[in-house]
Amino acid sequence: ERAPFPDPEADPIGHLAVVHSHPRWLVERWVARYGRDEGARLLEADNAEPSVTVRPNLLRATTEEILAALREEGLSPEPGPNGGPVFVLRGGFVAGRSRLFREGLLSLQDEAESMVVRILDPKPGESVLDLCAAPGGKSAQIAEAVSPGGRVFALERHLSRARALRQNMIGRLRLSLVHVTCADGARPPFRGPFDRVLVDAPCSGLGVLGRRADARWRKEVATIGAMAALQRPLIASAAGLIRSGGTLVYSVCSLEPEETTGVVEPFLREHSQFTMDDANRYLPPAFRSGEAAFRAAPHRHGTDGVYAARLIRR
């Protein structure tokens, strides 16, 4: 016997929370922001099986060579549905069992996450800082873009994660131009200036609940404010490390206002030397919007929930 669901008319929030297995406080937030129908689609998207997407390491082989090797492994790679530089692998791909992954020819990366480095737009020969780098997917993507002649400084606060990051960059991917440093991004041991800085800040992770189903029950509303309090000093510390005319990209895998516009808008008010740039010109059409910042949502794009703002130092 199944217990009855809450009545959808008498208690619409409770009904959605039980039917889609999300905490009530989160359902209330999303329905208030998106409306009942779109909020329900987002909740439903969190419960769908996430796609496995990989990005080729183009410093090691061409896209065509890597796709051919994937087919030899019995896989049928498909282009990312939104035009990103990734390929969807269906049929139970396990990275650790793949020779291509073990040998550093592939990185696991969500399609929306790959757009963050597109928005940063690093160029060959540039010096780039990834302020919150682990596990390293974006650092690797930056390294491919600045080669030859460029340098990537990848900062990670936790020693164990910094060691894993170094092993991923140097050992598996063979990206010798990535320099890993264990330090706090809010107090970076650099004076710069860098051509570009990426602040892929730690966040509530509410945009990736489809990949971390248990996380929805370990978060609470206070988590959002606590993470915003960490994000603000990170973007402020990055501001002093960028050359005149350089680029700062702030990104999170969350769409909550406190962690997105609630961080960027006060930063711009307090740092008049920075201005918002339009991210849309760096995006394929499926990801473009009427907003200058980038937003991808699970129910709209079939990706992680990601926000990124591109800021230019005058």
Q: How much is the average pLDDT of 114-139? A: 97
| Average pLDDT rounded to a whole number, residues 123-149 | 96
String of DSSP letters for 200-256: E-----TT-TTT-TTHHHH--HHHHHHHHHHHHHHHHHHHTTEEEEEEEEEEES---
**Residue 260's pLDDT is what?**
98
C-alpha closest to that of 169 among 196, 130, 202:
130
Q: What is the pLDDT of residue 3?
A: 83
Rounded mean pLDDT, 248-273: 98
**Of 132, 182, 203, 253, which one is the catalytic site residue?**
253
* Contacts made by residues 34-41, CB under 8 angstroms, sequence distance 24+: 36/12, 38/299, 40/16, 41/299
DSSP tag of 280: G
pLDDT for 125 equals 97
**Cβ contacts of 155 within 8 Å, gap of 6 or more:** 129, 130, 131, 132, 133, 181, 182, 183, 185, 188
Query: Catalytic site residue 132?
Result: no
67 has a pLDDT exceeding 90: yes
Which residues, in sequence order, are CB contacts of 269 under 8 Å at separation 6+? none
Interval 49-57 mean pLDDT = 94
The pLDDT assigned to 282 comes to 98
Q: Residue 2: its pLDDT value, please?
A: 79
Residue 147 has pLDDT above 80, yes or no: yes
In this prediction, what percent of the chain has a pLDDT beyond 90?
A: 94
Question: Does the pLDDT value for residue 191 go beyond 90?
Answer: no
Q: Which residues of 200-232 are buried (b: 16+ CB within 10 A; e: fewer)?
A: bbbbbbbbbbbeeeeebeebeeebbeebbebbb
Indicate the pTM of the whole model: 0.95
121-130: pLDDT as tens digits: 999 999 999 9
Average pLDDT over every residue of 65-77: 93
pLDDT of residue 91: 76
Is 210 in contact with 223 (CB distance < 8 Å)? Answer: no
Q: How far is CA 293 from the centre of its chain?
A: 14
DSSP string, 44-106: HHHTSPPPEEEEE-TTTS-HHHHHHHHHHTT---EE-TTS-S-EEE-S---GGG-HHHHTTSE
Burial of residue 272 (CB within 10 Å: 0-12, 13-18, 19+) is exposed
Nearest to 28 by CA among 12, 44, 41: 12
pLDDT in tens, 89-108: 987 789 989 999 999 999 99
Nearest in space to 297 (alpha carbons), one of 48, 105, 16, 8: 48
Instruction: Work out the average pLDDT over 53-58.
Output: 95
Going by pLDDT thresholds of 50, 70 and 90, the confidence category of residue 32 is: very high
Confidence band, pLDDT 50/70/90 cuts, at residue 4? confident
What per-residue confidence (pLDDT) applies to 93? Answer: 87
Spatial separation of the C-alpha atoms in residues 238 and 231, rounded to whole Å: 11
What is the CB neighbour count within 10 angstroms for residue 31? Answer: 20
**Using CA atoms, how far apart are residues 13 and 241, in angstroms rounded to an integer?**
45
pLDDT at 190 over 90: no
- Mean pLDDT across 192-212: 96
CA angle 233, 234, 240 (to 5 degrees): 90
